[in-house]
Structures are given as structure tokens and as C-alpha cells.
Amino acid sequence: MGWTFTQKYHGESIKEFFKKEFDYRRDDGRYGRVIDCAVVNLSTAYIAYEMGDGAGKREVSAIVCLLRFVPNAPDGCNFGYKDMTEDMHPYYYDCPERILKLLTPTDNESALRWREKCWENIRTRKARPRLVKGAVIEFTEPITFRSGRQERTFRVIDPRRLVFESGGMRFKLRRSTLREREWKLIQGA
């Protein structure tokens, strides 16, 4: 249940890396292969993994891999991952819709709960209004900054970089702040 550290070559995509690590084919026809891989925030990879046998039976399940990059590792092990299957109910729910749509039905309770949490996150994200320059948003609870200053209402300055203005000052908010806190659009652009 620990981490695996190894070498990932420069220019090799995360999907290519995991295909090299996880793909296999046996003489009896059984196989496993990475169908698709989505990396979220450079910290988590969500993999649609197909397993099958020579008789044509196939199953696609999810693998969640936490990622760590160690650019100047003295031993050359510049990349680490911790892999968990969906039936272990990993507590990471940012799996993209495109990966979830590739999964085949399952009756595993842990996997079903994990999938539902991921779908719930997707529905929540889709229900939120898109941030556009000039829009005004308001959080239900004030955000406290390191200086002790508290703000609830912000005007969007740069939606891509998450730069906002409030009370004549500019702030950069984290994506997790927008994802985890309740807020609403009170004025469009």
C-alpha cells in the first residue's frame, strides 16, 4: 500500500508510462491494458483499465494513482506513484467524466460508492456558473487571508489565473477554494 518510485523518461506522457507499467498479455489469452488516462492537477491520474480473457470476457475498471515528481532525484527515481483500484474506495473523487463513461458495470459496493461520489462532483461542477472577466461572485462564508482580512464578494479579473478584486485589492484564489466552498454569481459580466 506504499509508494513506488522509479524513472520516468523526459517527454514520456503519464499515459505512456502507465501503459508500460500496467499493460500485460499472457499465453492463456488473459490481458490487461490502459485504455485511457486523465491527470488532474498534476497530482492524480485516473485510469480506465481493461482486463479480459481469451474467451472474449472483458471488464473495465478504474485505477487511481497519486503522483509525485522528484526532478533532481540523486538515485534517478524521478517519479513516484501510489496506485489504488476503485474497489478500494480511494478517497479521490475528481475522476473526469470521459474515464467514468469507459467503465463497465460492477456490483462491488465500494466501487459503486466511489463512482457515485465522482459523478456527484461532476454534477456539482457542471451546475456552477462559469467564471468570466467582470463577473461578481459571493461566498456564503467569508474567506480569511493570511493578513487577517476577510472578504466574501469578489470581482473576477482573470478567470484562468483565478485573480479577483475586492475592496480595491487583488487576490489569487485557489481552485480548491472555489471547488470546496459555496459561492454564487451575483452579477454577470
pLDDT value at residue 148: 87
pTM of the model: 0.80
Strand partners, 147: none
pLDDT value at residue 1: 62
Say which DSSP state 86 is in.
Answer: G
pLDDT value at residue 83: 97
pLDDT value at residue 87: 95
The span from the first CA to the last CA of the chain, in angstroms, equals 48
Instruction: Give the mean pLDDT per block of 10 residues along the chain (189 residues).
Output: 90 96 94 97 96 91 97 93 96 96 97 97 87 93 89 93 91 86 81
pLDDT value at residue 155: 94
User: Rounded CA gap, 164 and 157, in Å?
Assistant: 5
Q: Residue ranges per domain, the chain? A: 4-127, 136-187
